[in-house]
């Protein structure tokens, strides 16, 4: 997918490279997001199945007793906090990377100027 108005431009070779890298970055982002969405759906499905299996094999009373015990309860809370920390770091890394890519891909730039010594001689 070309950017709007590119057909009217007469880019230099370097601008062609920059345009190609922009397209590659945009496509890589879309591919990464698609893969992450598939991973999220699969994880959600696995968690749902695991919860159903747990609920069908372990009584609610046994779960409550286990959660009310000091050591298992503390470990459970600490594990939830650790997962939250990992999720926070992951989301900050993701949003930072997306902003960097969008800044590179979508930031308008003036056309590159060809230095005088590189311009072809006029007859």
Percent of residues, the chain, with pLDDT higher than 90? 50
Cβ neighbours for 76, distance < 8 A, ≥ 6 positions apart: 67
Query: Does a structural domain hold residue 29?
Result: yes
Q: Where are the alpha helices (DSSP H) in the chain?
A: 13-57, 60-68, 70-106
SS3 for 115? coil
Judgement on whether residues 53 and 71 belong to the same structural domain of the protein = no
Query: Does a structural domain hold residue 4?
Result: no
Percent of residues, the chain, with pLDDT higher than 70? 77
Distance CA 49, CA 71 (A): 27
Judgement on whether residues 70 and 101 belong to the same structural domain of the protein = yes
R_g of the chain computed on alpha carbons: 26
Altogether, the residues listed in the chain come to a count of 123
Distance CA 101, CA 30 (A): 11
75 pLDDT higher than 60: yes
Q: What pLDDT, in 10s, does the model give residues 6-15?
A: 555 555 677 7
The range of the structural domain enclosing residue 93 comes to: 64-105
Q: How many domains does the chain have?
A: 2
Q: Is 105 exposed, middle or buried (0-12, 13-18, 19+ CB in 10 A)?
A: middle
Confidence of residue 114 (pLDDT cuts 50, 70, 90): low
Instruction: Work out the mean pLDDT of the chain and round it to a whole number.
Output: 84
Q: Residues 30-57: what's their mean pLDDT?
A: 95
State if pTM tops 0.85: no
Per-residue model confidence (pLDDT) at position 123? 59
Residue with the bigger pLDDT between 76 and 23: it is 76
Per-residue model confidence (pLDDT) at position 59? 96
SS3 for 92? helix
Distance CA 51, CA 60 (A): 12
Confidence of residue 34 (pLDDT cuts 50, 70, 90): very high
């Amino acid at each position: 997918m070309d950017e709007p108005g590119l057909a009217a431009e007469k880019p230099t070779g370097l601008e062609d490279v920059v345009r190609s890298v922009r397209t590659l970055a945009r496509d890589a982002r879309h591919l990464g997001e698609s893969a992450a969405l598939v991973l999220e759906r699969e994880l959600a499905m696995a968690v749902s199945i695991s919860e159903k299996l747990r609920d069908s094999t372990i009584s609610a009373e046994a779960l409550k007793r286990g959660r009310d015990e000091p050591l298992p309860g503390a470990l459970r809370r600490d594990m939830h906090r650790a997962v939250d920390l990992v999720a926070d770091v992951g989301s900050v890394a993701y949003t930072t990377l997306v902003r960097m890519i969008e800044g590179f891909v979508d930031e308008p730039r003036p056309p590159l100027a060809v230095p005088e010594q590189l311009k072809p001689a006029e007859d």
